[in-house]
Structure 1
Amino acid sequence: MKMTGNTILITGGNGGIGRALAEAFLAKGNEVIVTGRDKAKLEDVVSANPGIHAMELDVADPKAIEAFAQKLTADFPALNVVINNAGIMRPEEASEAAIETAEATVATNLLGPIRLTTALLPHLLGKDDAAVLTVSSGLAFVPRATFPTYCATKAAIHSWSMSLNHQLAGTSVQVIELAPPYVQTQLTGAHQASDPNAMPLADYISETMQILESEPDAREILVSRVQPLRWAERDRNFQQVFGRLNG
């Protein structure tokens, strides 16, 4: 992936990893568009970062995605990079049989990226140096049992990214998976943003950008902090890592 001169869409760019990536790519000389469901947060991003554009989007809404894709490509015809970052992470108890959380998580974390990428792919295939980046998680490889559907959607995103990469081989569209570790954001609540056990957000973004720049053909962006989760199966210590994560 080239690091400058792009027109980049980042879903869920109104906070956390999405906003931090938007600011990092803006600083590199890219045109950046962020989306989110919270208008006030989007306005805050734009106010703090002159040059970033904002558009409201609920990635869990199929009809909204169709209309959004048409407007986006009309307003930003140079669009060549999509970063599927929007996601939710909510705890679930199997004994409670509350299916609403699972359905919302699948709609946002899995169907959202698939629908949006599908809608924008014809446009991207007409661009040089195009890329689709999708945020999975270290929990795609070793699940945290209190968030079963979240972990399942991230495992599915990993598999989907591998298949998409294979199908698009030989085209102008590069497929990249970002698999963050536990990072200081508000994904699971305010406590996570200051949890000393989580990787500082600035450190995660800095290392991610460095890998993207130094390894332009990389298919997976794995910071050092996520390596134990990513390679637990290969290293034959999955049960030990799972035990530590869920102890």
Structure 2
Amino acid sequence: MDITGNTVFIPGATSGIGLALALALRERGNTVVVGGRRTELLDRIAAEHPGVHTVRVDTTDAGSVEAAAADVLGRFPGLNVLITMAGVMRVEDWHRPESFLASAENTITTNVLGPIRLIAAFVEHFQTLPDATIMTVSSGLAFAPLKITPSYNASKAAIHMLSETLRLQLADTSVRVVELEPPAVRTDLLPGHAENEHAMPLDEYVAEVMGLIETQPDAREIQVESVKFLRYGEARGDYDQVVAAINAEDPHGK
């Protein structure tokens, strides 16, 4: 993925990593469209950041995704980058189904079905372009689990394997598939997580990501240095130690 000159749609970018990445991409000369469910947040972003475009989209609603895709492509027919940022993370206790089932279903719908719907809405258009990128968003927790967030871990592992497989299927097209793998980052993904001393500061994370995109335009996975502890535990042979460490030190990890 080139660092500049793109038209980028980022659903789920009204806060946190998504918004910070949207602003960083805008600063580098990209046309950026931010998507989200809450119109008041979209209106605020448009007012505070002139030049950032917005569209309402709820990725848990197939009709909303279709309508948003038609809107975005109607206004920006040169759209060539999709970043499937939308996602939720919830603490769950699986000892009692009544305490976790609704949360688990919502997490899978948002974190797995949402990206699938978004990719389905744009993949044909992308194949008509000389160069296009689908950037999925998994997590370091796709590779080592945080015990308090079972459905989140599972959803991000699904996104990792989906990314791997789509890359194989789309290898005969002009569409690149890139997987962004965040570590714990100081955002409001979980209550109190923005103050988590074990998490990476948001501005540092986005700066490192932008640097990786610029210096490694053909990368299949965007991995800041700190996520490699989680990503490669099994390959290094210290997976059990990695799992023990993140569950002992970071009760609200990403």
TM-score range (shorter-chain normalised) is: over 0.9
- Tell me how far 1:138 sits from its aligned partner: 0.2
1:128, distance to aligned residue in structure 2 (A): 2.0
* Distance (whole Å) between structure 2 residues aligned to residue 185 and residue 197 of structure 1: 12
Distance in 2 (CA, whole Å) between partners of 1:63 and 1:99 is 24
Matched positions, count: 246
In 1, Cα distance between equivalents of 2:197 and 2:46: 29
**Normalization by structure 2: what TM-score?**
0.95
> Take 1:128 and 1:101, find their aligned partners in 2: how far apart are those partners?
40
In structure 1, the gaps of 5 or more residues are: none
2:2 is paired with a residue of what secondary structure?
Answer: coil
Alignment-derived partner of residue 214 in structure 1: 215
Task: Give the match for residue 96 of structure 1.
Answer: 96
In structure 2, distance between residues paired with 1:55 and 1:18: 14
Residue aligned with 2:78, SS:
coil
User: Equivalent residue for 2:136?
Assistant: 134
The AA in structure 2 aligned to 1:242 is V
Amino acid at match of 2:33: I
Match of 1:148? 150
- Deviation for aligned residue 1:96: 2.3
* Cα contact 1:80–1:128 (8 A) shared by 2: no
Q: Following the alignment from structure 1 to structure 2, what is the Cα–Cα distance between the partners of residues 67 and 22? A: 21
Bigger mean CA offset, 70-79 vs 12-21: 70-79
* 5+ residue gaps, structure 2: 249-254
Counterpart residue number, 1:26: 26
- The match for 2:123 among 121, 134, 142 is 121
How many Å separate the matches in 1 of 2:188 and 2:71? 30
Letter in 2 for 1:116: L
C-alpha separation between the residues in 2 aligned to 1:192 and 1:41? 20
CA RMSD, aligned part only?
0.9
Query: How far is the alpha carbon of 1:67 from its aligned partner?
Result: 1.9
Please state how far the C-alpha of 1:69 moved relative to its aligned partner. 1.6
Q: Determine the C-alpha separation between the residues in 1 that align with 2:131 and 2:15.
A: 27
Which position in structure 2 is the counterpart of 1:226?
A: 227
Residue type at the aligned position of 2:131 = D
TM-score w.r.t. length of structure 1: 0.97
The amino acid across from 2:178 in the alignment is I
Structure 2: distance between partners of 1:64 and 1:50: 25
Alpha-carbon deviation of 1:170?
Answer: 2.9
Alignment of 1:231-242 (within 5 A): 231-242=232-243
* 1:151-202 residue CA offsets vs partner (Å, 9 max, x unmatched): 000000000000001111131111000000000000002x111221110000
The list of structure 1 runs, each at least 4 consecutive aligned residues, that deviate by more than 2 angstroms after superposition, is: none
Task: Compute the displacement of 1:108 (Å).
Answer: 0.5
User: Which residue of 1 is the match for residue 114 of structure 2?
Assistant: 112
| Conserved? CA contact 1:2–1:129, under 8 Å | no
State the shift of 1:76 in Å. 1.1
Distance, in Å, in 2 between the alignment partners of 1:77 and 1:4 is: 17
